[in-house]
Amino acid sequence: MKIAVIDYGMGNLQSVLNAFQAVGKDLLVARTPKEMVGADAFVLPGVGAFGDCMRNLHSAGLDEAVLSALSAGKPYLGICLGLQILFEESEEFGRTPGLAHLEGKVVPFEKGLRDDKGARLKVPHMGWNEIRKESVTPALEGVPDGAHFYFVHSYRVVPEGANLVTTTTDYGLEFVSSIAKENVFGCQFHPERSGPMGLRVLENFVKWATKN
């Protein structure tokens, strides 16, 4: 089982590689469509702007390669931007098309969000927060409802239809913090920065990818 992490010039690649090594899996690094060919599953991490991510993927020819892998049913883990680009478009710095593998869009957190005590919440949403499990997925096996994960983002996904949603999180409003569909699991949080629970998600992905 060969799992590749897609390197498009953005994101915390080394942190992801280190985290997978901690659960006993060395990843390949794919920077071109040709380097993706031999992989059985894929991880696409990312931190930064949606538009920059899509431009970098397109300039390397990786956007079409990712879509081909998704259509072929290869297991895919999207982290942060790797989740967001699966959708049709983002409102970040104007409307930017995504991969449109899933229906829905990416929108900013509203201004003036407040917690349950009335305190104003800062954007980006940064730090630890808990997840609420909405449906069952292999990626979250052994992860309890209310587990805490690390977030850093100013935008959130709004899927078309609740059937995609596996977890939600509260930050002045309830937002979607992970989704799953067929061969895809995407999370807004960063499992590679989320301690034992994050490593459990990565370990689950490896097991799931191996079975598929």
10-residue mean pLDDT series, the chain (212 residues): 93 92 96 94 93 95 97 97 97 93 97 92 96 97 98 97 94 98 97 98 96 82
Q: What pLDDT does 140 receive?
A: 98
Catalytic (active-site) positions: 80, 190, 192
Q: What pLDDT does 68 receive?
A: 97
Q: What pLDDT does 107 receive?
A: 98
Q: What pLDDT does 120 receive?
A: 95
What domains, with CATH codes, occur in the chain?
3-211 (3.40.50.880)
Exposure string over 149-164, b if 16+ CB within 10 A, otherwise e: bbbebebbbebeeeeb
Cα–Cα distances (Å) from 113 to 107, 124, 126, in that order, read 14, 11, 14
Dihedral sign for Cα 106, 110, 114, 116, please: negative
Q: What pLDDT does 13 receive?
A: 92
Q: What is the 3-state secondary structure (H, E, C) of the chain?
A: CCEEEECCCCCCHHHHHHHHHHCCCCCEEECCHHHHCCCCEEEECCCCCHHHHHHHHHHCCHHHHHHHHHHCCCCEEEECHHHHCCCCEECCCCCEECCCCCCEEEEECCCCCECCCCCECCCCEEEEEECEECCCCHHHCCCCCCCEEEEEECEEEEECCHHHEEEEEECCCEEEEEEEECCEEEECCCHHHCHHHHHHHHHHHHHHHHHC
Whole-number Å distance between alpha carbons of 37 and 33? 7
